[in-house]
């Protein structure tokens, strides 16, 4: 580089330094200590500028006075609290302490979120949600007053009215019990009311003995259309050294509201293993009833009977404690008194973490009477 080019470059840099100083000051005049001053409009070369800066010894202020010490110059305010405009919202990339700026992106937190005892997390927008995820599934989701715990197929769902629904493997078994001791006994072929323990009694059934059971109804939480499992609670009466065989029959009618009663008869044979202890409680699966057309609230009328078996009878007739029906339950109860009356609602943003096992992965079964709130769309 020749001398002329170097001179031109230095002059350019020198001019830039002067502009920077003027921009920082807001004025071409730098007021220093003890009345010393520097006017950047003066025609100074680099050497003269440095000498004059060193001479004013100590910084400047926007008015008269100043201060400092040593030979370094500090341009501007040295205490943050002395800055003007501290109450101005000049940095839009930051959170505000009063919470008035909305967060547009995700907040990634590696530590804990600690809140005072009486504080809460609120979701203001209709599509706001809190998700607790594991792997590819949302395990717990809280969204616009609806709560879901599960993986999108097996889950517990609570809607904004507090109605609870179980889906997939989250459905539970419940029992409809028919007491034998309170059943109606016939004039003939009645079971024997016999001593069971020192202070209790139960019915024991000989072949062809029967009772008419007290009617029950399918519980309100029943998952409509699912199969019903019938079973017997039996207690042995004495000890046999060889296997013994018993057989029981149930004649029943399960009738929906406004339905017409129709009787079904099922029976099954059971083996009591040799040397089974006296008064042993045995659970006997009787038959599985196809539940395709069964609805909650259906009436159940039944007769229980012992019939002849193909093997050797026990030495003494076993006691029968209960006849029961196990049913799948997908809700705590029904949404309406006489009907579950479910509507299909669709997540309008195609989220699927609360899908309730329907063919359409974005569809959910939802309680009737709930108006659309911007999150669900009625179908």
Which tokens sit at 163? 């109605």
Of 308-312, 329-333, 347-351, where does the model show the most confidence?
A: 308-312
Q: What is the pLDDT of residues 240-296, one digit of tens each?
A: 999 999 999 999 999 999 999 999 999 999 999 999 999 999 999 999 999 999 999
- For residue 59, the model assigns a pLDDT of 43
Q: 27 phi and psi, to 5 degrees? A: -155, 150
d(C-alpha 2, C-alpha 7), whole Å: 9
Torsion angle in degrees (nearest 10) through CA of 307, 312, 317, 320: -60
Of 53-67, 283-297, 331-345, 359-373, where does the model show the most confidence?
A: 283-297
Where do we find the tokens 């005072």? 116
**pLDDT value at 379 more than 50:** no
Torsion angle in degrees (nearest 10) through CA of 273, 276, 281, 286: 10
- The model carries a pTM of 0.59
Per-residue confidence band for 102, with pLDDT thresholds at 50, 70 and 90: confident
Per-residue confidence band for 365, with pLDDT thresholds at 50, 70 and 90: very low
Q: In the CATH hierarchy, which fold is given to the domain comprising 173-329?
A: Jelly Rolls (2.60.120)
Which tokens sit at 208? 């062809």
- What spatial distance separates the first Cα and last Cα of the chain, rounded to whole Å? 80
User: What would the DSSP string read from start to end of 272-327?
Assistant: E-TTPPTT-EEEEEEEEEP-TT--TT-EEEEEEEEE--SSPPPSSPPEEEEEEEEE
**pLDDT value at 330 more than 50:** yes
Q: What is the pLDDT of residues 134-170, one digit of tens each?
A: 555 556 666 655 677 777 678 887 776 677 788 888 8
Q: Where would I find the beta strands (DSSP E) of 72-208?
A: 130-134, 137-143, 146-150, 155-158, 164-167, 172-179, 192-197, 200-204
Stated as kind and residue range, the H or E segment containing 50 is helix 46-56
Contact 235, 279 (CB under 8 A): yes
How high does pLDDT run on average in the chain? 75
**pLDDT value at 319 more than 80:** yes
Residues above pLDDT 90, as percent of the chain? 41
- For residue 106, the model assigns a pLDDT of 77
- For residue 64, the model assigns a pLDDT of 40
Please give the biggest Cα pair distance in the chain: 133
Q: In the chain, where does the domain assigned CATH 2.60.120.260 lie? A: 173-329
């Amino acid at each position: 580089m020749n001398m002329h080019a170097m001179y031109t470059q230095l002059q350019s840099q020198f001019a830039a330094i002067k502009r920077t100083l003027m921009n920082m000051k807001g004025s071409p005049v730098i007021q220093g200590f003890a009345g010393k001053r520097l006017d950047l409009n003066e025609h100074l070369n680099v050497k003269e500028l440095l000498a004059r800066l060193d001479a004013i010894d100590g910084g400047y202020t926007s008015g008269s006075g100043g201060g400092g010490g040593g030979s370094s110059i500090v341009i501007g305010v040295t205490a943050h609290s002395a800055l003007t405009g501290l109450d101005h919202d000049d940095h839009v990339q930051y959170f505000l302490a009063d919470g008035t700026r909305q967060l547009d992106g995700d907040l990634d937190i590696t530590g804990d979120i600690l809140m005072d005892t009486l504080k809460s997390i609120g979701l203001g927008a209709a599509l706001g949600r809190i998700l607790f995820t594991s792997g590819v599934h949302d395990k717990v989701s809280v969204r616009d007053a609806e709560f879901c715990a599960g993986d999108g197929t097996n889950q517990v769902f609570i809607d904004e009215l507090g109605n609870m629904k179980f889906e997939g493997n989250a459905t539970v078994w419940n029992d409809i019990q028919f007491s034998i001791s309170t059943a109606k006994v016939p004039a003939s072929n009645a079971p024997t009311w016999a001593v069971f323990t020192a202070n209790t009694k139960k019915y024991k059934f000989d072949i062809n003995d029967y009772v008419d059971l007290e009617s029950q109804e399918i519980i309100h939480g029943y998952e409509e259309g699912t199969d019903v499992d019938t079973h017997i609670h039996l207690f042995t009466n004495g000890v046999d050294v060889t296997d013994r065989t018993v057989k029981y029959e149930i004649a029943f009618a399960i009738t929906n509201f406004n339905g017409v009663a129709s009787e079904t008869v099922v029976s099954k044979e059971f083996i009591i293993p040799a040397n089974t202890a006296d008064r042993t409680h045995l659970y006997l699966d009787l038959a599985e009833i196809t539940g395709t057309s069964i609805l909650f609230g259906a009436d159940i009328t039944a007769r229980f009977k012992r019939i002849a078996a193909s093997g050797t009878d026990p030495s003494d007739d076993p006691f029968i404690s209960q006849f029961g029906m196990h049913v799948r339950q997908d809700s705590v109860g029904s949404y309406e008194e006489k009907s579950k009356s479910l509507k299909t609602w669709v997540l309008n943003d195609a989220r699927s973490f609360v899908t309730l096992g329907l063919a359409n992965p974005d569809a959910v079964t939802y309680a009737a009477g709930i108006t659309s709130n911007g999150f669900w769309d009625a179908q």
